[in-house]
Amino acid sequence: MKQGRSAPARTGLSGFLDADGLKRAIAPVAAFVASFALIGLASLSGWWLLGLAVTLPVLALGVFDALQTGNTLTRNYPFAARIRWLFYDLRPYLRAYIVEGDLEGKPFSFDARNLVTARSLGRIDTQPFGTDLDPAAGSFKWLTHSIAPAENPDPSPRVAIGGPQCARPYSASVLNISAMSFGALSANAISALNKGAKLGGFYHDTGEGGVSPYHLQGGDLVWEIGSGYFGCRDAEGRFDEGLFREMASRDIVKMIEIKLSQGAKPGHGGLLPGPKVSKEIAEIRKVPVGKDCLSPRGHSAFSSPLEMLAFAARMRELSGGKPVGIKLCVGQHHEVMAIAKAMLKSEIYLDFIVVDGAEGGTGAAPMELSDNVGAPLTEGLIVVRNALVGTGLRDKVRIGASGKVYSGFALAKNFAIGADWCNAARPFMFSIGCIQAKRCHLGTCPSGVATQDPGRQRGLVVDVKAERAARFHRQTLLALADIVAAAGLTHPTDLAPHHLVHRLGATGSCPIDRVYNFVAANALLDAPEDTIYADAWKAADPESFLPRIDIVEERAEG
């Protein structure tokens, strides 16, 4: 059998000698013709030659495109294909300013961003003519109100954090700044947020990048410590008790948060390349200048729930008795149950657990991790709430929640599910000028928030933006107070699951505790087999994060 012949390849400019080729090369062909016309017209006036400044570059670029081998479209459509690139570059701006509807932007809609901006600037934040939302939509939720609303809800509610083993509990606002490190955010942004926290009386989570000088503007701090132990590590990257005690004992540090995972990229470490490890960052993080700075996937200080609790207890001791807790994005349910079992077995209690939803933000993360790994906040919050309530630990451990919390309703929804307080990151960024340009990973943030470029940072005036962050916090809590009062309550933590109704299609709705499973007190101790967590509870091992049984086999037998 004869081998089939492939069509002869056209090389050089021969592929543009037929009618189709001339049509595809219309831009350089037109420039070629125009150049000769301009040269002819130059006999009438030399000014015509100025047109060559346009036609000759188009012609030269067209010839280059036709001969290059790296890109198919520009090789087949010389010069014209570059117009496609131009519109790709313009696409985000055209969508944001022309095409995008008020409720369409992602991850935050225009309405959401506009609400934060209006509150931070002290502008009118009321809405005319009724809601723009569709109450019949499947995702619609609402809070039930009372015929007897409360007259005097708390306009600035707080919550005491610190369990029975905490010597120095902390009274926190119910809305605070979530974890964002110096390095991910600019020096001016960190300074503005911390000053805003001081003005508004709420706390500022440092993020895992350590406590920088810009965090020390007077606002209360929650020191987040991740697997890199930045700011409290030895030369080998291991936890250093001396360095930890030195910082944790400072009055400005109110609580310690052990980061297990992050909603936007759970189970993912990080690497700051050596060229980005400046002298300033190296000093803050306690790492060598110019060397790669690694955040491992997991902690080296512990490898089991019991070891983690012992580590937390030691941190509490070293800090002088301050609250110590963990932050995690909920993944495998048996691990959450294992932490609860470990607290029961060791009688060492975390002071708090912050649940970070998968919808949370980050400066940069693999798309697959951001989009499809980890539990969203509602589901994760319910799992942690059920683990603590079901084991009788809820009165000892507070719950924080973070993930797209930007409004009074977002706060109220989380309180109804079981949170004691909430944290917000991107909304506070909006309050100090972020425009959701999504250039955090490129270092070219136009608002000076997520960049280390001094020229871009100069646009962010610290004192002005600090006032706006504080004002956003204040106005959002007033909006929350209106919701709480409408429910006939005075404090947001009085909200319960039956206050939150979830739409189930166009013709049905239920309180959220009829949509999701909310276990009764001590249910996991008394009859775990009667709960949806029967397999997870059986698999949970206080001495290991790994399951103690084969869950696949257990479910097959069940």
Structure-model confidence comparison of residues 554 and 29, the more confident one:
29
- Residues in contact with 76: Cβ distance below 8 Å, sequence separation at least 6, in sequence order: 15, 24
Over 90: is that where the pLDDT of 544 sits? yes
- Residues in contact with 350: Cβ distance below 8 Å, sequence separation at least 6, in sequence order: 163, 309, 312, 324, 325, 326, 339, 343, 397
Q: What is the pLDDT of residues 272-310, one digit of tens each?
A: 767 778 889 889 998 888 887 878 899 999 999 999 999
Which ranges in the chain are annotated with CATH 3.20.20.70?
Answer: 150-539
293 strand-pairing partners: 272
Q: What is the pLDDT of residues 157-211, one digit of tens each?
A: 999 999 999 999 999 999 999 999 998 899 999 999 999 999 999 999 999 999 9
DSSP secondary structure letters along 40-64: HHTTT-GGGGGGHHHHHHHHHHHHH
Closest CA relative to residue 416, chosen from 179, 174, 131, 204: 174
Q: Using CA atoms, how far apart are residues 186 and 103, in angstroms rounded to an integer?
A: 29
Closest CA relative to residue 357, chosen from 105, 102, 107: 107
What's the whole-number mean pLDDT along residues 494-499? 97
Three-class SS string for 262-324?
A: CCCCCCCCEEECHHHCCHHHHHHHCCCCCCCEEECCCCCCCCCHHHHHHHHHHHHHHCCCCCE
- Per-residue pLDDT band for 1 (boundaries 50, 70, 90) equals very low
Of the listed ranges 10-24, 333-347, 501-515, the one predicted with least confidence: 10-24
Over 50: is that where the pLDDT of 145 sits? yes
What's the whole-number mean pLDDT along residues 461-471? 97
- Per-residue pLDDT band for 267 (boundaries 50, 70, 90) equals confident
Over 70: is that where the pLDDT of 436 sits? yes
Closest CA relative to residue 176, chosen from 479, 463, 466, 401: 401
- The reported pLDDT for the residue numbered 321 is 98
- Phi-psi category of residue 249: left, alpha or beta, with phi > 0 → left and psi -120 to 50 → alpha: alpha
Per-residue b/e over 243-266, b at no fewer than 16 CB within 10 Å?
ebeebbeeebbbbbbbbbbbbbbb
User: What is the percent of the chain where pLDDT is above 90?
Assistant: 75
Over 90: is that where the pLDDT of 363 sits? no
CATH architecture of 150-539: Alpha-Beta Barrel (3.20)
Query: How many C-beta atoms surround the C-beta of residue 158 within 10 A?
Result: 15
Over 90: is that where the pLDDT of 93 sits? no
pTM of the model: 0.90
- The reported pLDDT for the residue numbered 366 is 83
Over 60: is that where the pLDDT of 8 sits? no
